[in-house]
Amino acid sequence: MSNLLLEKAFRLIDEAKEIGIGHIATRVEINGKKKAVNINGEKVVPFSLSDYLMLMHDERIINGAIESIKENGFNLSISREFLHLHKTDEAEEILAKVFGNPVVLYPKTTLAHVGALPLLIGRKDAVILDHHAHATIQMAVDMVRAHGTHVEPIRHNNVHKLEERIVALRKTYEKIWYLADGVYSMYGDVFPAKEVEILLNKYDEFNVYVDDAHGISWTGPNGSGYVLSQIRQHPRMILAVSFGKGFGAGGGAIVCPDKDIKKLLVYLSGPLMFTGPLESSTLGGLIASAKIHLSSEINLLQNQLKELIDYFYDRCDELGLPLVDKTRTPTAYFPMGNTENIYLCGRILYPERISGTAGLYPAVPIKNVGVRIQITLYQTKSDVEKLLQIMKRVYQQLIKERGFSIEETLSHFKG
């Protein structure tokens, strides 16, 4: 990054910190079943957390972590290649029941990408990378590219163009890989699962790698995520997941289509050879959370959140509030046009004790700045209504005082 861009990024982030919409410390206070997020000494309604089902402080998950520490200590200081806790096997076995396929655990989803992609994708393969794919996938793709693999970007969710490129590339390369997200973490739009499944059945060379980190728990059978709520896992589909969001625990995993892929990753994956394993506490928490996901309770939690999500999107339509995408996921994005408009929004939201997430450069393109909202069970309908009434006031002020155009601003998000 050039000095000029670096200075600009620092200035934008410093301003976000000052008005309470970025780089802020927090704690979660527990009072019976009610959780309150504390920021800078003030209790706020969090619209910035990805703990969709409010499982992060579930006593069963906490107790699972504590008991695992008591039994095994905090951490096993050796890589999995040589030695691993029995809790690792137990966690992978129960998670395989959640997802319906073999699972390989990693300390983080980022390390899952770094561990899986260089093993799965060969030099004679080609990669088609959705240009909205998560930054951590793009980091791992740089490793694949460095080995000589052909990599090309594609416009976001453009299935027609994807098929065109499959047809062209299959003449030269052994496998064609499409890399994408299940639920896109900033705008809340989704992977075109059914259309991609058709392509998987049509072209034998076609393979798919999907990061469904933001789709886990709040949807899908047993909370198995957005992708598996739409289609069954195809034999040529690899699924990357996170347990640090809706699952209320930590770590990441690759859901493998068969045992051979699992064996490949366990035996030869770099992060499992050369980095530390999941902490004992995380393994205990994962097992406890998986038991919740395998019970009928997960359906009740999903339905509670769905009711809140539906209320949010219905009211946005009624109030005429702009969203970059209206797919009914827990993630929504209000476009702001420029950073000064975000600062105005933050200065209105924060005194009202509401916490959102600023989508600022360099996390998003300079013309795609906005405010990300996460709908979770930390909120009530009255909390959502309060947020939306404030956002209505924000947009009225932007239109009146700054000549803000909803249509022009949304046009920057197309393609």
Question: 143 is written with which tokens?
Answer: 């490793």
pLDDT score at 8: 64
Average pLDDT, whole number, for the chain? 92
pLDDT score at 290: 98
Q: Is the dihedral of CA 191, 194, 198, 204 positive or negative?
A: positive
pLDDT score at 400: 93
The alpha helices in 239-380, defined as continuous H runs, are: 259-268, 270-274, 280-293, 297-319, 339-349
In terms of Cα–Cα distance, which of 266, 201, 190, 174 is closest to 228?
Answer: 190
Which amino acid, one-letter code, is at 314?
Answer: D
Going by their DSSP bridges, the two strands 103-106 and 252-255 should be labelled as: antiparallel
pLDDT score at 364: 85
pLDDT score at 367: 87
Q: What SS3 state is found at 384?
A: helix
Give me the domains of the chain, ranges plus CATH numbers. 3-40+297-411 (3.90.1150.10), 60-293 (3.40.640.10)
pLDDT score at 9: 65
Burial (0-12, 13-18, 19+ Cβ within 10 Å), 204: exposed
Length of the chain: 415
Partnered with residue 241 across adjacent β-strands are: 253
CA atoms of 266 and 397, how far apart (whole Å): 55
Residue 331 has phi, psi (to 5 degrees) of -105, 125
Partnered with residue 208 across adjacent β-strands are: 178, 237
pLDDT score at 350: 82
Which amino acid, one-letter code, is at 381?
Answer: K
**String of b and e for 89-117 (b: at least 16 CB within 10 Å)?**
ebbbebbbebbebbbbbbbbbbbbbbbbb
Q: Is the dihedral of CA 333, 28, 252, 98 positive or negative?
A: negative
Stretches where the chain sits below pLDDT 70 are: 1-2, 4-5, 8-9, 12, 15-41, 415
Tens of pLDDT, residue by residue over 6-24, are 776 677 677 666 666 666 6
